[in-house]
């Protein structure tokens, strides 16, 4: 997994989810071999949840890059601005 696609602050969560996915992959193999359809279904749902967390963390980095680029363009045009970290603002609003 390319860790450059995530923010440095999120690398702990990324490592946790990557390990979880690896464990779930092994669990899935066992469930398939045992023909445990309910177990396979449950593991697949867990894989989807972990994958979704990683997708959201990647999107967070992508948004940060986009905001930094916008800030740089505005600065180049002579407009003073500060990069706003939308994900922190959203987190503060939900608290």
Band (45; pLDDT cuts 50, 70, 90): very high
Is residue 95 predicted with pLDDT exceeding 60?
Answer: no
Tokens 């450059």 locate to: 4
Question: What's the mean pLDDT in 14-27?
Answer: 97
Nearest-angstrom CA–CA distance, 37 and 44: 10
- Average pLDDT (27-54) is 97
Task: Tell me what pLDDT residue 7 has.
Answer: 94
Q: Is the pLDDT of residue 75 over 70?
A: yes
């Amino acid at each position: 997994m390319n860790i450059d696609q995530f923010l440095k602050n999120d690398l702990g969560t990324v490592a946790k989810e990557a390990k979880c996915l690896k464990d779930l992959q092994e669990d899935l193999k066992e469930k398939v071999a045992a023909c445990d359809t309910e177990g396979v279904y449950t593991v697949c749902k867990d894989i989807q949840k972990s994958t979704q967390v990683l997708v959201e963390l990647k999107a967070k980095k992508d948004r940060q890059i986009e905001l930094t680029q916008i800030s740089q363009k505005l600065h180049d045009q002579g407009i003073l601005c500060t990069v706003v970290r939308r994900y922190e603002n959203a987190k503060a609003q939900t608290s």
